[in-house]
Structure 1
Amino acid sequence: MEKRIINPWQWQDERSYVQAVEVKNVTSTLYVSGQTAISAGGQSSAADMKTQLQLAIQNLEEVITQADFECSGIVRLNIYTTNTAKLWPNFPILQEWIAKHNIKQATTLFEVKSLFETLTVELEATVVK
């Protein structure tokens, strides 16, 4: 697999995403449903944004690993939140995870009216290898 990053500017670098990703010679693509702060037993979290973001990241990584893919193969990451103002102070948690796995992904952040039950953040990814 070959990835080419397209960044006409530099300002997105401090926000931990890229403007576009071209991918060639892919052997497989994984489309991951939105991962949230739901426990292994199916219980939706009512915790604060920080805790929910941490669990959503863990769940995303678990799905990717179970599918025999690597987080570094994420080329698209959509972030849904019910409150951008509460997500933003916790964004470094996601940025550290992105840096740890050397992920170079296109990202869109959406503020939505609601998510399932008590959830406040959801991560949806496209992963290639």
Structure 2
Amino acid sequence: MTNTEVDRTIRINPTTWNQGFAYDQAQLRPAPVQLLTVAGQGSIDADGSLLHADDMAAQMALAMGNVEDLLERAAMDLRDVLRLTVYVTDMDAALGAYRVLVERLTALGATPPATLVEVSRLAVPGMCVEINATAGR
């Protein structure tokens, strides 16, 4: 069992297999003063158009970029994410592209508890990734 404390966050990981995916199985944090809830973000541009139809890696990168943009607008970053949920339409393709998320999380030392969920479809035809998050400070 590995429990580590970083900036008053206690990372709880009874095993180590999850480290390669850049997430903790649980985290105990002080209660946040501010809570940011981020609606599902996809590979959507400023005009609401889908970009990179059916390209899992490109959509994952842009969806995460959109999450990071909202975090930045709230004076936060990925280290402030309390929970990350990634919805995908193809689990095998998502696992192959997941390095896109791991690289971004690892760059900041962020390891939020995360869930990867396969769904039959998302709201926009051609969309294969949607990411939502809860963050707090």
- Give your verdict on TM over 0.5: yes
Whether 2:72 is the aligned partner of 1:65: answer yes
- 2:127: which partner in 1? 119
Deviation, 1:2, is 3.0
Q: Secondary structure at the match of 2:98?
A: helix
Q: Secondary structure at the match of 1:89?
A: helix
**TM-score scaled to structure 2, two decimals?**
0.88
Deviation, 1:109, is 0.8
- 2:60: which partner in 1? 53
Q: Note the residue ranges of structure 1 that are not aligned, 5 or more in a row.
A: none
Q: Note the residue ranges of structure 2 that are not aligned, 5 or more in a row.
A: 1-6
Check conservation: 1:79, 1:124, Cα contact below 8 A.
yes
Q: Distance in 1 between matches of 2:110 and 2:136?
A: 12
Q: Secondary structure at the match of 2:62?
A: helix
Check conservation: 2:54, 2:128, Cα contact below 8 A.
no
- 1:107: which partner in 2? 114
Picking from 42, 46, 52, the partner of 2:48 is: 42
**TM-score scaled to structure 1, two decimals?**
0.93
Instruction: State the 4+ residue runs in structure 1 displaced beyond 4 angstroms.
Output: none
Q: Distance in 1 between matches of 2:47 and 2:76?
A: 23
Give the root-mean-square deviation of aligned CA atoms. Answer: 1.4
Q: How does 1:65-104 map to 2 (within 5 A)?
A: 65-104=72-111
Instruction: Indicate the percent of aligned positions where both proteins have the same amino acid.
Output: 29
- 2:3: which partner in 1? none
Deviates more, 1:84-93 or 1:1-10: 1-10
Count of aligned residue pairs for this structure pair: 129
